[in-house]
C-alpha cells in the first residue's frame, strides 16, 4: 500500500492515488488532490459538489452516482462535466477523498 503526504499529513492511497480511508480526508487536502488531476482551482461550485458527496457518503455509505448528484444534490449533469472534465464521478470522488467509484452508471 502506497502512502503520500497531503496538507502535512501522511495518508494511505491505492495504486491510482485514491485515498484508502475516507476518514483520513480533510478539506485542506482537496486543493492538492485537485491539482494532481489537473484542476488548478476549486471554485464554490466545486466545493458544493465535494461537500454533497462527503455528506451523502457519510449518510448512505456509498459514493453518490452522477444521477444522485443531480436528483438529490441538485447538481446539473452538464455543470458536473464542465467542472470535472473527462470523468466527473471519478475525479470528484478523488478530490473528496472517497476512493474510486465502482458503479456502472
CB 57 within 8 A of CB 48: no
Q: Which stretch binds another protein (CB under 8 A): 1-9, 12-20, 23-31, 85-93?
A: 85-93
Of 4 and 70, CB closest to another protein:
70
First to last CA, the chain: 28
CB 75 within 8 A of CB 48: yes
Distances (CA, A) of 42 to 33, 35, 49: 10, 9, 10
61 is catalytic: no
Q: Could you say which DSSP state residue 92 is in?
A: H
State the minimum distance, in angstroms, from the CB of residue 11 to another protein. 25
Q: Which stretch binds another protein (CB under 8 A): 17-25, 32-40, 46-54, 61-69?
A: 61-69
SS3 31: helix
Among 7, 27, 65, 100, binds another protein (CB under 8 A): 65
Task: Kindly state whether residue 17 participates in binding another protein, applying the rule CB under 8 A.
Answer: no
Task: Kindly state whether residue 87 participates in binding another protein, applying the rule CB under 8 A.
Answer: yes
Interaction site with another protein (CB under 8 A): 65-68, 70, 76-78, 81, 85-90, 103-105
Amino acid at each position: 500500500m502506497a502512502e503520500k503526504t497531503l496538507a502535512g499529513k501522511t495518508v494511505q492511497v491505492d495504486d491510482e492515488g485514491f485515498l484508502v480511508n475516507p476518514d483520513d480526508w480533510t478539506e485542506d487536502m482537496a486543493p492538492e488532490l485537485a491539482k494532481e488531476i489537473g484542476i488548478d482551482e476549486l471554485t464554490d461550485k466545486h466545493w458544493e459538489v465535494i461537500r454533497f458527496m462527503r455528506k451523502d457518503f457519510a449518510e448512505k455509505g456509498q459514493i453518490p452516482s452522477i444521477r444522485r448528484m443531480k436528483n438529490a444534490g441538485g447538481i446539473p449533469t452538464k455543470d458536473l462535466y464542465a467542472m470535472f472534465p473527462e470523468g466527473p464521478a471519478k475525479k470528484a470522488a478523488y478530490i473528496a477523498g472517497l476512493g474510486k467509484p465502482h458503479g456502472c452508471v
